[in-house]
Structure 1
Amino acid sequence: MSTPTEQLTAAGVSIWLDDLSRGRITSGNLAELIRTRNVSGVTTNPTIFAAALAGHGYDDQVSELAKSGANADDAIFRITTDDVRDAADILRPVYDATNGVDGRVSIEVSPDLAHDTDATIAQAQQLWHAVDRPNIHIKIPATKAGVPAITAVLAQGISVNVTLIFSLERYAAVIDAFLAGIEQAKANGHDISGIHSVASFFVSRVDTEVDKRLAAIGTDEAAQLKSKAGIANARLAYELFEKEFASDRAKALTAAGATVQRPLWASTGVKDPSLPDTLYVTELVAPGTVNTMPEKTLEATFDHGVITGDTVTSNYADAHAVIDRLGQAGVDFADVTQVLEDEGVEKFIDSWHGLQKTVTDALAGAAR
């Protein structure tokens, strides 16, 4: 009998772990998850690193950095790029076995730069060269300022994970930015077969915001739509993915060796305890996707996830109906997605500033 994570992989879903810490690397835990849970990639964000650095696995390096006179930003850069490099080395066999599709580790530009295109491009280059591994993604948020940065960074041959996508409209802009970036990379003489990208579409946060609004509306129709928006929105994103990558423009690039930008389901941990803990895994199975999971969701999937094959492409009509019914019930979905983007950036900025304070305090303590 195969495990649910093996079945998920066989259905075309790459399982990535949405967490990283030095302890996971040095203890062998990450290698164990690759071996036993079919993990084939890792994603990080400022919140994840803030939690990791609150532990004690970094004391020796913080002490060394304090002696060298490093400030908090320099220390964060060194610590996080070291962790990502080490994780990338652990995942390198997966990268080689999948011809570069998986075995990837993502590291994010500072969220303080989310509304600054030029600074995002500059830091993406800096992170790419500092980690110096082919199997990483630089995470760039899908803000209005982030979208042109995506094109510019891809054009330089740098692989990109586009994060914080909530709306279909913004996702369409992200796909266009990807195609433009690959076109420019080709014109610049890069081997476009080696440039990879994922587009991270957030799921559970959509339900959290929409369900709050449905509860305020309070009608029977609103109650029937509870916890349906996130999955419907993601399924329509996959419909858009299929449509856009079947275009003549995309086909010309893939014929020249380009890879497609895979949809990645993010925010797949269930926030509402009344929902099944594998909901955002089992209901979003589709070929050529990535699901990045917190460890709790990964373990729940391994333990009792029921994988029934593709649960996306036969449900487009239902997904459209859910979004239509939300509008009829009084939910302004465009406002929902804009609020979530704004909140997502702010949450990462808050985490980043918390991380800066943690490291500032640790450096001061080590210097005494």
Structure 2
Amino acid sequence: MPMKSMDKHEAMFREELAVRPPPNESLEQRPEIAPITGPTPLPEPAIKFDNINDEDYGENEAENKTRRCGQDVIEQLVNKFLNTGSTTDQKGSAPKFVNKEAQKLLGSSPYWSDKGVKEIGSIKDSDEAERNGWMDIIKRHKKSCHQLDGDISRRSRQNSRKSLTEAQDVMSRFVHSTSMQAKQFDAAAMPEELKKQLHYVSFEGMSALKEKDHQAFTSAQDHINQQISETLTCEKGMKAPCTLKKIDISAIFNSENDADHLKYLWGAFVRNVARLKPHYKKILDLSNTAAQLNGFSDGGAMWRSAFDLSTKNSPPKFDLKQQMQQIYEKILPLYKQLHAYIRRQISESTRIRSYRRRRLVFPLRINETE
């Protein structure tokens, strides 16, 4: 309502009160009402929008720590509810799972169990392997792995962390149990075709780790994935609390033309993620441990085995690094042209006239003379 209109109505109301005596009171007994000389001042607002930068937004570190602690408690309660259906500790109650599809595969055949497994390499008769139906086991192994791989990929895209963890856990159990059964057979005494299949099934990967180490490996991965998506970055010139998540920064990169702004956001995000370095080192150490349990020298050799066809008992069929280098040298001329074209397009889109004077951080940059 306009201020003049409000003052007019208020003045009329006061005049009416002045001429209307209350009950049992004469006009002579009433004190005089002071005349209105100006507009009635409004109460001071709770937030001063004309000086909003001076407002306190929780810059105190102790308050920030308390807030983070509260968020951790909430997340623990949510995870407990997803597991048990309740936020309270219920002893003796079976856990409730979110990923029903993965749980259906768990124990769906006798090959999920490693009970009654004989010593490693104790079975040397290929006929016994055939009688035990190992070719069928291998087919089931591949089918189940494909199902779990598809479920893990789908859950990862949906960002369903609980379902993804359950699928990975089921996958680990299946790989471990089938591997233990395959190791009963002496692969060296088997026909060539069956030998290859046994080597394939007996490979455990990260499932070879002890349960405690495997949980540490999974926890480190989960923590990295969570922090990358949830880490908050501040806009340039803004103080805490920060509000930009990775998805927000990606959206800004799709439309922003200010090179300095892009460089600042990317640098701030990378600095935040750099705090995860100890978790990456933990993953590296556990990968090397798992590789040695699988018969490889280190984690790199274990992961390359899927391409160079090496096993713990046989060397690589070819040098994967050399093959990759040869392929890289073949595409290098096209790579240089593509790099130069994209660099020019970025320079134009960000309105930088002299690219060599103000270099923009760009992942495709090569170290050779331009």
Structure possessing the higher relative contact order (Cα contacts under 8 Å, 6 or more residues apart): 1
TM category, shorter: under 0.3
Q: Which has the higher strand share?
A: 1
After TM superposition, the score normalised by the length of structure 2 is: 0.22
Q: Which has the larger radius of gyration?
A: 2
